[in-house]
Amino acid sequence: MIAAAPIRRLPQVVADAIAAGEVIERPASVLKELVENALDAGASRIDIAIEGGGLVRIMVADDGAGIAEDDLELAVERHATSKITVADDIMRVRTLGFRGEALASIAAVSELRLTTRTRGSVGGSTVGVRNGHVLSRGAAASGPGTRVEVCELFAASPARLRFLRSVATEGSAAVRVAADLAITHPEVSFTCTNDGRMVLRTAGGTLRDAIRAVIGARAERDLLDLDAPGPIAVGGAISSPHAHRASRSGLVLIVNRRLVHNRALLAAVDESYRGLIPSGRHGYGVVSVEVSGEALDVNVHPAKREVRFSDERAVFGAVQRACWAALRGAPALGSGGYVPTGFANGALEVREGDVAIVGRATLPLADRATGLAAWNGAQGDGGARTPGVPTALPALDALGQAGSGFLVATSGDTVVLVDPHAAHEKVLYTELLSRWRQDAPEASGSQLLLMPVVVECGPDRASRVADEHDFFSRCGFTMEQFGPGAVRCTAVPLTAAGADPELLVAELIDRLDDHDAGTADRRHRLAALVACHAAVRFGDRIDVVAQQRLLDELVATPGGTTCPHGRPSVLILDDATLRRAFRRPSG
C-alpha cells in the first residue's frame, strides 16, 4: 500500500509551466504566437530568426504599434490582453490572439526578452523573464515596434523536450508556420532565416506575390486568379488546366485568413477541373474564402485547422463557381500556336542521312549545312562529343505545337522540331547537376512545400534516406525521418517545384535501393529522375509563352540537343534538307 500523499497547491510557477504546455507544444507554436501578436499589432514588416530548431533561439521583430512602457510587465502576465475587456467581446474578436496567455506561457518555459517602443514615445523599454520570473526591466534602445526573443525554450522542462522531434524537424515546422502566415498575410513583408540561412522572403504585396515567394516562380506562372466577390468571397489562384499534378497536396485552403483543412472545399475545387484535366490529376494553388464570422462555426481551439460552415453547400457552390470562371475564362489551351501546313501527314519524305538528327552520333550530319556549322562547338556537357554533332543551339522562335506533342520552331531558314518533355528534362537535369557541383554545403534553390509530404517506406529505406541526407539537401530536398518507418519531405528543389511531390519522393526512395551503382552514377540517375518528374509531359498542351520560355532555356543549356538519357530532343531540318525533300533546286 502506498501512503496517501498530502494534496498541495502547486507553486504558481509550476502551475504556469503546466498550463504553458497546453498552448506551447513546440517551437513552431511559439513562433506562431509571436508572429500573430506582431500581425495583431499592425506590423507591415516581420523579421524572423530561428536557431537550433527554435530551441536555441526564436526571434520575431516587427514594426507594429509597440507596447506602452507601463503595460510591459502586464503583457507577459497570464490573462493580460489588450484585445478584449469583457467576456462578450470574445464573440467579436477580429484579432488572431485574445486569450492573453501566449506571452506568459512562453515566458514560463524559456528565457524571454521583450523590447519595444510605441510610435509616439522617445525611448524604448525592455523586460526580461526567465521561467516565469521577471529578471529585469528598464529603458532600452529600440526602433518603433516590438522585438521578442525566446531563448532556451523548454530547457527547464525535460518532459516537454522528450516529445519533440529532431532539431531539423522542429526547425522546418517553424519555418512552415512562417510560410503559412506569409501566405495568409500577403500584404506584410516577411523574412525568415533558419540557422542563418534565408528560407523565406516576401515583399509584402498581393496574394500572388506571396504565393510566388513560397511555391516558386515556375509553379506560380501557371496560376489563374480567382476573383469572386460577394457575401462568400472567393479569391486566390489555381493552376491552369495544363499544369495539373498527381495529388491534391499542392492545394491550400484559406478561410478568413487562416489556413484550414476542409474536405468538401477540396472536392469543390477538384470537381471544377472535371473534363479539363485527365482524371486522377489535380490542380494546385491557393483558394481563399472570406465569409462573415456567423457563417463559420466558432472555433473553440484557434490552433485547430479544421473549419465548419453553417451553410457548407453555399460555400461549396461559391468556390466551384469561382474556379469555373477562372478555368473557363483561361486563354484557350495552347492558344496562339499554329502548325505549319507543310507538315501534314506524308508531305515530307524523310530519308535517313538527309536529316540531321542532332545528338545521335550514329546519324551523319550534313556537313554543308551552313546554319548548323555555326552551332557546333562552344559549349558541351562534358560527355563524349562526336565531331559535327552540335551540342548548342542558336536562338529559336516558337511557332506552335503540333497536335499536343512536338514544338515547332524556326531559326533563320531552318525548321526545328523539339520534343518538349525531352528538352525540359535536359534543362532541369542540367540545373540540378550544376547545383551539386557547387561547393556550397547547402543548396539554395529550395522550394517549401505548402503541405509536407509523408511517405511510408519502412524503417529500412527511411534510414537509407537519412544516410543520404547530405546528398538530398544539396539537391534542395528537405527530407527527414518521420517516425520509425516514414520519411517526411518539406521542401523540394526549385527545379522540381512543378512536380507532384508525393510521387517524386516515393520514386526517389525506391531508387535508393540501387546499391551497386557508384555515387556519380546514382547522382546522375536521381537527377534524371527528378528532372523527368518535373518536366512537362509529352502530351501536355503548352501555351506559346511557355513554348518560347522552354526554347530559350534549351538554347541556354549545354548539350540541350539530347535528353539526360541520350535520346535526341530536337530534330533539325535546314533549308537544304527541306529543298531536297521537296525536290526543289537550291536557291
Of the candidates 401, 46, 369, the one whose C-alpha atom is nearest the C-alpha of residue 188 is 46
- What does each C-alpha distance from 102 to 23, 24, 83, 191, 412 come to in angstroms? 7, 8, 13, 22, 67
Q: Which is nearer to Mg ion, 97 or 390 (CB)?
A: 97
Strands (E), 29-110: 45-51, 57-62
Rounded Cα distance, 560 and 420, in Å? 11
User: What's the helix, strand, coil split of the chain in %, to 5?
Assistant: 35, 25, 40
62 is a site residue for ligand ADP (CB under 6 A): yes
Between helices 167-184 and 27-40, what is the axis angle to 10°?
20
Stretch 37-56: interaction string toward ligand ADP, x if CB under 6 A: xx-xx---------------
List 24, 46, 67, 199, residue binding ligand ADP (CB under 6 A): 67
Binding to ligand ADP, residues 476-515 (CB under 6 A): none
List 30, 58, 59, 65, residue binding ligand ADP (CB under 6 A): 65
Rounded Cα distance, 425 and 533, in Å? 8
In the complex, residue closest to ligand ADP by CB: 97
Stretch 9-38: interaction string toward ligand ADP, x if CB under 6 A: ------------------------x---xx
List 30, 50, 75, 475, residue binding ligand ADP (CB under 6 A): 75
Element at 539 (helix H, strand E)? none
Q: Which does 255 bind (CB under 5 to 8 A by kind): Mg ion, ligand ADP, none?
A: none
Q: Which does 62 bind (CB under 5 to 8 A by kind): ligand ADP, Mg ion, none?
A: ligand ADP
Residue corresponding to grid cell 542532332: 358
List 110, 146, 184, 193, residue binding ligand ADP (CB under 6 A): 146
Q: Among the residues of 132-166, which ranges form H helices?
A: 158-162
| DSSP-derived secondary structure letter, 382 | S
Q: Which does 430 bind (CB under 5 to 8 A by kind): Mg ion, ligand ADP, none?
A: none
Q: Which is nearer to ligand ADP, 137 or 385 (CB)?
A: 137
**Minimal distance in Å, beta carbon 453 to ligand ADP?**
32
**Minimal distance in Å, beta carbon 239 to ligand ADP?**
36
* Spatial contact of 508 and 529, defined as CB atoms under 8 Å apart: yes
**Minimal distance in Å, beta carbon 185 to Mg ion?**
15
Residue 439 burial by Cβ neighbours in a 10 Å radius (0-12, 13-18, 19+)? exposed
**Minimal distance in Å, beta carbon 115 to ligand ADP?**
10
Q: Which does 101 bind (CB under 5 to 8 A by kind): ligand ADP, Mg ion, none?
A: ligand ADP
Of the candidates 175, 241, 189, 11, the one whose C-alpha atom is nearest the C-alpha of residue 108 is 11
Q: Which is nearer to ligand ADP, 64 or 420 (CB)?
A: 64
Q: Which does 51 bind (CB under 5 to 8 A by kind): ligand ADP, Mg ion, none?
A: none
| Residue ranges binding Mg ion (CB under 5 A) | 37, 97, 102
| DSSP-derived secondary structure letter, 78 | T
Q: Which is nearer to ligand ADP, 65 or 356 (CB)?
A: 65
Residue 93 burial by Cβ neighbours in a 10 Å radius (0-12, 13-18, 19+)? middle
| DSSP-derived secondary structure letter, 222 | T
In the complex, residue closest to Mg ion by CB: 97
* Spatial contact of 354 and 562, defined as CB atoms under 8 Å apart: no
- Coil/strand/helix, residue 573: strand
Stretch 103-122: interaction string toward ligand ADP, x if CB under 6 A: xx------------------
Of the candidates 274, 276, 330, the one whose C-alpha atom is nearest the C-alpha of residue 545 is 330
* Spatial contact of 435 and 576, defined as CB atoms under 8 Å apart: no
101 is a site residue for ligand ADP (CB under 6 A): yes
**Minimal distance in Å, beta carbon 159 to ligand ADP?**
23
Q: Which does 283 bind (CB under 5 to 8 A by kind): ligand ADP, Mg ion, none?
A: none
List 99, 137, 261, 511, residue binding ligand ADP (CB under 6 A): 99
Q: Which is nearer to ligand ADP, 62 or 220 (CB)?
A: 62
Of the candidates 405, 390, 234, 204, the one whose C-alpha atom is nearest the C-alpha of residue 320 is 234
DSSP string, 294-316: GGBPPPSSTT--B--BTTHHHHH
Partnered with residue 330 across adjacent β-strands are none
**Minimal distance in Å, beta carbon 256 to ligand ADP?**
17
List 27, 53, 54, 97, residue binding ligand ADP (CB under 6 A): 97
Q: Which is nearer to Mg ion, 102 or 224 (CB)?
A: 102
Q: Write the Ramachandran bin of 228: left for phi over 0, alpha for psi from -120 to 50, otherwise beta.
A: beta
User: In this structure, what C-alpha cell is assigned to residue 292?
Assistant: 462573415
- Coil/strand/helix, residue 339: coil
Q: Which is nearer to ligand ADP, 75 or 265 (CB)?
A: 75
100 is a site residue for ligand ADP (CB under 6 A): yes
Q: Which is nearer to ligand ADP, 144 or 485 (CB)?
A: 144
- Of 100-108, 320-328, 333-341, 371-379, which part binds ligand ADP (CB under 6 A)? 100-108
* Spatial contact of 534 and 492, defined as CB atoms under 8 Å apart: no
- Of 78-86, 233-241, 266-274, 327-335, which part binds ligand ADP (CB under 6 A)? 78-86
33 CB neighbour count, 10 Å cutoff: 25
Rounded Cα distance, 273 and 252, in Å? 16
**Minimal distance in Å, beta carbon 33 to Mg ion?**
5
Rounded Cα distance, 311 and 15, in Å? 41
Q: Which is nearer to ligand ADP, 302 or 340 (CB)?
A: 302
**Minimal distance in Å, beta carbon 503 to ligand ADP?**
41
Q: Which is nearer to Mg ion, 97 or 236 (CB)?
A: 97
Residue corresponding to grid cell 502586464: 74
List 21, 56, 68, 83, residue binding ligand ADP (CB under 6 A): 83
81 is a site residue for ligand ADP (CB under 6 A): yes
Partnered with residue 245 across adjacent β-strands are 282
Q: Which does 61 bind (CB under 5 to 8 A by kind): ligand ADP, Mg ion, none?
A: none
- What residues make contact with ligand ADP under the rule CB under 6 A? 33, 37-38, 40-41, 62, 64-67, 75, 80-83, 97-104, 146
